[in-house]
Amino acid sequence: MGSKGSPGEASIFRAKDGRWHGWITVGTRANGKPDRRHRTAKTRNEVVRKIRELEVRRETGTITAVNSDTVEAWFRHWITNIAARLLRPAQWTAHRQEGRLRRLAQSAEVGRRPPRAAA
């Protein structure tokens, strides 16, 4: 069994299927979690080459951030750009309304009851 590597060092291993996998931390995502990138190849040398390329890009600051859209942002994109062309008007309206209701439900506090009407 291998020893634990230094912080920021890549992890390279061979999977059961015979392919080599490499993981490397290139920074931090917007949510504060580590930004880990994965590369795979048939040989260890290929994975090492790919990981070294990521290391160079990390050190020079040319690595791009991962798309970290929220579900709401993706839904807005889908409903306006994709669904609008594919669905009939009634279906599109129903999907749009369903999305609004789900977002309202998700943003509400868990377990909160609606206020009672005055008697």
| pLDDT of res. 78 | 73
Considering the domain boundaries, does residue 35 fall inside one?
yes
Indicate whether 16 and 55 sit together in one domain: yes
Considering the domain boundaries, does residue 4 fall inside one?
no
Integer Cα distance of 41 and 44 in angstroms: 7
For residue 9, list its beta bridge partners: none
Q: Name the average pLDDT for the chain.
A: 77
Indicate whether 18 and 49 sit together in one domain: yes
| pLDDT of res. 110 | 44
Q: What is the pTM of this model?
A: 0.52
Domain span holding position 79: 71-107
b/e map 16-28, b = 16+ CB within 10 Å = eeeebebbbbbee
Indicate whether 54 and 88 sit together in one domain: no
Considering the domain boundaries, does residue 97 fall inside one?
yes
pLDDT band at 105 (very low <50, low <70, confident <90, very high): low
| pLDDT of res. 22 | 95
Mean pLDDT of 39-65: 90
Domains contained in the chain, number: 2
Indicate whether 56 and 75 sit together in one domain: no
pLDDT at 5 > cutoff 70: no
Q: Model confidence over 55-89: pLDDT tens digits?
A: 998 888 888 766 656 777 777 777 777 777 887 78
The residue with greater pLDDT, 34 or 109, is 34
Indicate whether 22 and 48 sit together in one domain: yes
pLDDT at 2 > cutoff 90: no
Integer Cα distance of 84 and 100 in angstroms: 16
Indicate whether 90 and 56 sit together in one domain: no
**High-pLDDT (> 90) share of the chain, %:** 27
Considering the domain boundaries, does residue 99 fall inside one?
yes
